[in-house]
């Protein structure tokens, strides 16, 4: 049994009664994660590479953060790369790959992608005279794999795609795409930012060449984490200061001094997740919450993406004809519920294809409760019936 009371007791931010349903934008953080930052500044502030104890503690921390991140993603520690965030890492790594690309080479992106896995390729294409193709989706927001297969060709060098949409929650069968892409000689470049908080990841099973995520989406610090297949990383010439070492191979792509206090927080995040039963327990609990939410949505709802919890993460995009999503978001905040109202949610291709106007994005996390979901859908139903205004 998932002990939701034990989970929530570890978050001071959840004790005030406000209901956070904004997980796709960033999750709440356990107290232990914040405490780890402060403890690092007290016990291990400085830099690595020196013979005294404080420096040795920092070195051990970096090693542990790599090892724990490798276990989280299913790779080896030397294949882990840390950066400021997923977007910064993606610009760095795509630019590094660009050294080996030639004019006319092709990149495939998808309409499901967050722009953090599109814009780096568009910018690289402008600089290197590359061609970027966009893989379409089906009307149900699933990836059109047949269209992707038609776009693959001898000049395709990268297929960039998400494991899960940050806007509508739709998941992608990356292993199937990887089989097609690798047969065509292309790399598989995966955005796992919205997937990592909800499902276990095994980069070997996915057959990904590069995979990126952000720990602040799974109750950790603002930090980007990337996996790169060792043989691939070893083949690249990194952008780096010349004295920086080449071992471990992932370190070649880390520019400047690492944020050691955030690595301490990251280790504490993994401790927290393991302490509540791991991602498998999170997956089961969130599926139950998602089913509860779907069952309780007002009848007038227009839901984008899967109508069930199959083939999705617990991120839901909805709107209501004749009701302003912006007004709903404000009214819900006054009632104690945090949801976002927006237009493209950084998924520009998806927004162009589906054209939902503005919509509410409701994102669940494992610290949400059944009672919160029921209260939310009750209040949402009243507000929708009233045209989006505040309850009387």
Closest CA to 82 of 204, 262, 216: 262
Average pLDDT over residues 130-144: 98
CATH number at residue 146: 3.40.640.10
Asked whether residue 392 carries a pLDDT value surpassing 90, the answer given is no
DSSP 282-347: HHHHHHHHHHHHHHHS-TTEEEES-SSSTTB-SEEEEEETTB-HHHHHHHHHHTTEE-EEES-TT-
Specify whether 90 is located in the same domain as 211: yes
Instruction: Give a yes or no: residue 363 inside a domain.
Output: yes
- Residues 301 and 318: beta-carbon distance below 8 Å: yes
| Rounded-to-10 torsion of CA 146, 170, 199, 363 | 170
Gap between the Cα atoms of 64 and 129, Å rounded? 41
**Residue finishing a domain among 217, 251, 273:** 273
Gap between the Cα atoms of 171 and 150, Å rounded? 21
Domain extent at residue 365:
4-31+278-385
Instruction: Give a yes or no: residue 328 inside a domain.
Output: yes
Instruction: Give a yes or no: residue 184 inside a domain.
Output: yes
Specify whether 63 is located in the same domain as 103: yes
Specify whether 71 is located in the same domain as 152: yes
Specify whether 9 is located in the same domain as 62: no
Specify whether 262 is located in the same domain as 352: no
Specify whether 167 is located in the same domain as 295: no
6-65, pLDDT tens digit by residue?
999 999 999 999 999 999 999 999 999 999 999 999 988 889 888 998 999 999 999 999
Question: Is 0.85 topped by the overall pTM?
Answer: yes
**Residue finishing a domain among 229, 258, 273:** 273
Which helix H or strand E contains 227, and what residues bound it?
A: strand 224-228
Closest CA to 197 of 289, 101, 292, 273: 273
Instruction: Give a yes or no: residue 135 inside a domain.
Output: yes
Q: What is the mean pLDDT of the chain?
A: 96
Specify whether 119 is located in the same domain as 229: yes
Instruction: Give a yes or no: residue 392 inside a domain.
Output: no
Instruction: Give a yes or no: residue 390 inside a domain.
Output: no
Task: Say whether 161 sits in a helix, a strand or coil.
Answer: strand
CATH number at residue 374: 3.90.1150.10
- Residues 329 and 360: beta-carbon distance below 8 Å: yes
Specify whether 243 is located in the same domain as 323: no
**pLDDT tier, 389 (very low <50, low <70, confident <90, very high otherwise):** low
Side by side, the strands of the sheet bearing 340-342 are 301-304, 315-320, 359-363, 340-342
Specify whether 266 is located in the same domain as 301: no
For residue 247, the model assigns a pLDDT of 87
Instruction: Give a yes or no: residue 391 inside a domain.
Output: no
107-135, pLDDT tens digit by residue?
999 999 999 999 999 999 999 999 999 99
Specify whether 196 is located in the same domain as 320: no
Instruction: Give a yes or no: residue 259 inside a domain.
Output: yes
* Inter-CA distances, 178 with 161, 174, 210, Å: 10, 6, 11
- Residues 61 and 68: beta-carbon distance below 8 Å: no
**Residue finishing a domain among 241, 273, 305:** 273
Domain count for the chain, please give it: 2
Specify whether 305 is located in the same domain as 222: no
Q: Distance from CA of residue 5 to its chain's centroid?
A: 26
- Residues 190 and 177: beta-carbon distance below 8 Å: no
- Residues 266 and 220: beta-carbon distance below 8 Å: yes
Specify whether 54 is located in the same domain as 152: yes
Gap between the Cα atoms of 104 and 121, Å rounded? 13
């Amino acid at each position: 049994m998932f002990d939701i009371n034990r989970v929530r007791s570890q978050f001071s931010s959840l004790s005030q009664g406000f209901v956070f349903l904004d997980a796709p934008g960033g999750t709440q953080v356990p107290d232990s994660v914040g405490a780890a930052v402060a403890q690092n500044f007290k016990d291990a502030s400085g830099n690595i590479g020196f013979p005294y104890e404080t420096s040795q503690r920092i070195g051990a921390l970096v090693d542990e953060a790599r090892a724990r991140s490798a276990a989280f993603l299913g790779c080896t520690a030397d294949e882990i790369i840390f950066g400021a965030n997923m977007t910064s890492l993606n610009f760095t790594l795509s630019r590094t790959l660009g050294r080996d690309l030639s004019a006319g080479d092709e990149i495939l992106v998808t309409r499901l992608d967050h722009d953090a896995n599109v814009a780096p390729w568009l910018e690289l294409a402008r600089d290197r005279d590359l061609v970027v193709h966009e893989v379409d989706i089906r009307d149900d927001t699933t990836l059109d794999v047949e269209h992707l297969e038609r776009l693959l060709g001898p000049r395709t060098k990268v297929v960039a795609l998400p494991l899960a949409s940050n806007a509508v929650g739709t998941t992608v069968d990356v292993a199937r795409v990887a089989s097609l892409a690798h047969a065509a000689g292309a790399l598989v470049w995966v955005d796992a930012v919205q997937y990592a908080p909800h499902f276990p990841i095994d980069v070997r099973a996915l057959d990904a060449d590069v995979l990126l995520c952000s720990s602040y989406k799974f109750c950790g610090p603002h930090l980007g984490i990337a996996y790169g297949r060792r043989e691939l990383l070893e083949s690249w010439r990194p952008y780096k200061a010349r004295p920086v070492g080449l071992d471990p191979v992932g370190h070649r792509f880390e520019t400047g001094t690492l944020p050691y206090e955030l690595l301490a927080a990251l280790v504490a995040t993994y401790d927290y997740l393991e302490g509540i039963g791991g991602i498998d327990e999170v997956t089961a609990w969130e599926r139950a919450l998602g089913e509860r939410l779907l069952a309780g949505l007002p009848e007038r709802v227009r839901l984008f993406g899967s109508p069930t919890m199959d083939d999705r993460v617990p991120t839901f995009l909805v709107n209501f004809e004749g009701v302003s999503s912006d007004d709903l978001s404000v009214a819900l905040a006054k009632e104690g519920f945090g949801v976002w109202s927006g237009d493209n949610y950084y998924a520009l291709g998806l927004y162009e294809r589906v054209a939902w106007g503005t919509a509410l994005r409701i994102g669940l996390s494992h610290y949400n409760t059944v009672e919160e979901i029921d209260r939310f859908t009750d209040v949402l139903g009243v507000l929708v019936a009233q045209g989006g205004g505040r309850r009387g």
